[in-house]
Amino acid sequence: MDIHTSIVKRPERTFKESFTVFMIDTGSCGACNLEVKSLTNPIYDMHRLGIFFTSTPRHADALLVVGVLSEKMKDPLRRAYEAMPDPKLVIAVGACALSGGILGSGIREMLDADVLVPGCPPSPFTILDALIRSRDGQK
Amino acid sequence: MDDCLSAVFKIDDELLCVKGHISTAMEPCSSAELERYENSPLLLGRYMDSLERSEKFNFNLGPVSGGLLESIKMNVYTDGERIVEIRPDPTFKDRKIKMGEAPLDNALLKVERINGAFAAGFGTAFCLAVEEIQETPASFETQLVRILISEIERISNHIHVIAKLSEGASQNVATSHLFALEERVRRIVSEYFGHRFFFGVNGIGGLERNIDVKGLQDKVDGIVDEFSSIWDALTSSRLFLDRLQTTCFSRKEWMVGPAARAANFRYDSRLSGYLPYEDVGFEVASDDTGDVLSRALVRQKEIEISRNMVDEICGKVRRVEKCRNIDPDKRGWSVKRVETPSGDMILFLGISNGHITDFGIRSASTANILAFAQSAISGILTDFTFAWESFGFWISEMGEYI
């Protein structure tokens, strides 16, 4: 039985041992932010899996995007992506980042996401599962 | 401050305002009043230190920064140690949500997603406004469930804010414990209400889901008891208290929510009785110092008060059936004020033929953002996080609606 709800189009095995993620909010309601933030609490504890948040895209392996694409966040999104070293992944988290949901347009017009995590918001389990699969080669 | 300007809405090219901290009456806004409002140095965000400094420089934070949960740009002016001025720019993630001409059901989905963390409060305000226009009030049980979800939302949010303050003060054990507690609240919410953020629970004229609260009281009591023990441990730490006490005072009469109540302004929309709060033992929590510790203390007291209200409601309501009550032909407008966890939110709604004609929101974050900027002045740079987190801001609720 396939219990995965996210789609990993392009996993990157380079990040198997250590995976550093930079989150950018391009126009969310805050729910996705809270669910992503939950990954650091002791219940999910993503650090035990070698997954960490970074506060700068310069140190990031993956750009995790939440929210619809608001006009004024287009430039910060582009600059964050360009600042990241190669290889890099783009992870779209939540219905808004994927398609715009009912509030706007998604990030597709600017970036092609490698990992799609649906949900409004996706649960921390779903996000964590997507992060694990995006670095270990499981599609 | 019963005559202070709380919100201004533009309707059919006419400016209407809501005054004071309880009223929902709309009245014309004179040009003199508006001019005073728009030219207020507070609203313009000009908070210069009393001593003009020639050597200040701009320290930019954001719009994308690891320390902030959402996107906001802060122009922080400093002389290297003290904060001289802060100019927040919350417009970066403004979604300009399209509310005009939206059908009511679709609009409720959008309203809940204005601020996901306060979906119960925003959804309740919208449903109450529609029900007032349609002259079809929801049943008493439905109103009690709306109090129930609003108060659980408040418990969850206040635990989150105190966890962030604890994180800022490097109290790592307490921080981890509090974030785990927040997660457990979400799981309880998901179990009883079908969604971790109360999306889709509220409905116009009733509820969208069958609600059975059997066992909920014990679970919420367990959460609050555990929170109380963490809070006792935190407040016995001199390190924690030193970071919060006398940090970032704010005492502005136009503030709302826990920030206002921490400065002994006992404003609370729940006093207006938009829901039957008087039947479930509501009381206003306040403190008198107006610093970060006071704001945390008010939140701690409100968690206890909210727990008592949850207990009261669970004793009165067992099971509420899904129900709907819509009359699409009614037209009119309504103003509703609802006390979200961060403070008073004012919603203006006009509808006709089942569609929205006018929509506006003055959120608690909009009301308090400049109080934050003012409170951080003369503090040191490391006070910034305490000033910011203690107000419980959500940038998502500070956008425009078209």
pLDDT tens per residue across span B39-54? 554 443 333 444 455 5
HEC sequence for B248-283: CCCCCCCCCHHHHHHCCCCCCHHHHCCCCHHHCCCC
Please name the residue of chain B whose CA is at the shortest distance from the CA of residue A80. Answer: B64
Q: Is residue A82 part of a domain?
A: yes
Q: Suggest the residue from A21, A22, A29, A47 to mutate for an interface test with chain B (most B CBs closer than 10 A).
A: A29
For residue A118, is the peptide bond before it cis, meaning its omega torsion is within 30 degrees of 0? no
How many Cβ atoms are within 10 Å of A109's Cβ, its own excluded?
Answer: 9
Determine the distance from the C-alpha atom of residue B72 to the mean position of all C-alpha atoms in its chain, rounded to a whole number. 17
CB contact under 8 A, B64 and A80: yes
**Nearest Cα to Cα of residue B296 among B252, B240, B255:** B240
Is B109 in Cβ contact with A26 (below 8 Å)?
A: no
Secondary structure E strands in B167-214: 202-203, 206-207, 211-212
pLDDT recorded at residue B315: 92
The reported pLDDT for the residue numbered B39 is 53
For chain A, say whether B194 makes contact (Cβ under 8 Å).
Answer: no
Distance CA B265, CA B1 (A): 10
pLDDT, residue B325, reads 64
Q: Give chain A's count of helices (H) and strands (E).
A: 4, 6
* 3-state SS, residue A105: coil
Cβ-nearest to B69 among A33, A43, A76: A33
Angstroms from B271 CA to nearest CA on chain A: 28
Dihedral (CA of B199, B200, B201, B206) sign: positive
From the CA of A42, how many Å to the nearest CA of chain B? Answer: 6
Inter-chain residue contact A24 with B71, CB threshold 8 Å: yes
Q: Read off the pLDDT of each residue in A98-119 and give the average, rounded to a whole number.
A: 94
| Cα gap B121→B111, rounded to integer Å | 10
Return the structure tokens found at B150. 């609003």
**Nearest CA-CA distance, residue A12 and chain B, Å:** 24
B156 in A contact zone (CB under 8 Å): no
**Is A83 inside any structural domain?**
yes
Q: Which residues of A touch B117 (CB under 8 A)?
A: 29-31, 34
Q: How far is A126 from chain B (nearest CA, A)?
A: 14
B217-238 per-position pLDDT tens digit: 999 999 999 999 999 999 999 9
Instruction: Kindly state the percentage of chain A with pLDDT values over 90.
Output: 87
* Residue of higher predicted confidence among A40 and B27: A40
User: Is residue A68 domain-resident?
Assistant: yes
Q: What per-residue confidence (pLDDT) applies to B54?
A: 57
Residue B196 to residue A123, Cβ atoms within 8 A: yes
Whether A37 maps to a domain, the answer reads yes
Cβ pair B69:A25 closer than 8 A: yes
Q: Which of chain A's residues have a Cβ under 8 Å away from the Cβ of B70?
A: 25, 28, 30, 33
> Within a domain: residue A103?
yes
Q: Is B165 exposed, middle or buried (0-12, 13-18, 19+ CB in 10 A)?
A: buried
Could you tell me which residues are beta bridge partners of residue A21?
A53, A62
Please, are residues B212 and B318 in contact by the beta-carbon 8 Å criterion? yes
Please count the structural domains in chain A.
Answer: 1
B367 in Cβ contact with B6 (< 8 Å): yes
Which residue from A24, A28, A121 is facing B396, i.e. has the nearest CB? A28
- What pLDDT does B42 receive? 42
What's the pLDDT at B155? 98
Q: Do A42 and B66 touch (CB under 8 A)?
A: no
pLDDT band at A32 (very low <50, low <70, confident <90, very high): very high
In the predicted model, residues of chain B with pLDDT beneath 50 are 41-51
Residue A138's pLDDT is 63
Q: Chain B contacts of A126, Cβ < 8 Å?
A: none
**Closest CA–CA distance from residue A127 to any residue of chain B (Å):** 15
Instruction: Enumerate residues 6+ apart whose C-beta is below 8 A from B285.
Output: B258, B261, B298, B301, B302, B305
Decide if B65 touches A, using CB distance below 8 A.
yes
CA distance B142 to B124: 11
Give the pLDDT score at B68. Answer: 84
Question: Quick one: pLDDT at residue B301?
Answer: 97
Among B66, B176, B179, beta carbon nearest to A55: B66
* Residue B91 touches chain A, beta carbons under 8 Å: yes
pLDDT at B180: 97
Is B182's CB within 8 Å of A41's CB?
A: yes
**Candidate from A29, A33, A55 with C-beta closest to B113:** A29
Chain A residues with CB under 8 Å of a chain B CB are 22, 24-35, 37-38, 40-44, 53-56, 67-68, 70-73, 76, 80, 101-104, 120-121, 123-124
Q: Per residue in B56-110, pLDDT tens?
A: 788 888 898 877 899 999 988 888 888 888 888 999 999 999 998 888 888 999 9
What confidence tier does A123 reach under pLDDT thresholds 50, 70, 90? very high
* ipTM exceeds 0.90: yes
Q: How far is it, in rounded angstroms, from Cα B159 to Cα B44?
A: 32
A1 within domain boundaries? no
The answer to whether the Cβ–Cβ distance between B71 and A25 falls below 8 Å is yes
Asked, for residue A2, whether it belongs to a domain, the answer is no
Angle, helix B384-391 to helix B292-316, in steps of 10 degrees: 20
How high is the mean pLDDT of chain B?
Answer: 89
Nearest Cα of chain A lies from the Cα of B67 at a distance, in angstroms, of 7
Q: Which residues of chain B lie closer than 8 angstroms to A72, CB-CB?
A: 63, 91-94
Q: Which residue from A26, A34, A42 is facing B180, i.e. has the nearest CB? A: A42
For residue A15, the domain's CATH number is 3.40.50.12280
Domain that holds residue A87: 7-136
Q: How far apart are CA B149 and CA B146, in angstroms?
A: 5
pLDDT value of position B308: 97
**Which one, of A137, A138, A130, lies nearest residue A113 by Cα?**
A130
Of the partner residues A41, A101, A121, the one whose CB lies closest to the CB of residue B179: A41
Which of B93, B97, B199 faces A73 most closely, judged by CB atoms? B93
**Residues 6 or more apart in contact with residue B262 via CB below 8 angstroms:** B286, B287, B289, B290, B291, B294, B295, B297, B298
Which residues 6+ apart lie within 8 Å of A82 measured at CB? none
Query: In this predicted model, what pLDDT tens digit does every residue of A58-99 receive, in sequence order?
Result: 999 999 999 999 999 999 999 999 999 999 999 999 999 999
Closest by CA to A90, choosing from A72, A109, A110, A111, is A111
Q: Is residue A45 part of a domain?
A: yes
> Are B117 and A54 inside 8 Å of each other by CB?
no
Domains in chain B, start-ordered, CATH in brackets?
104-398 (1.10.645.10)
Q: From the candidates A41, A79, A93, which should be mutated to test the interface with B, based on the most B CB atoms within 10 A? A: A41
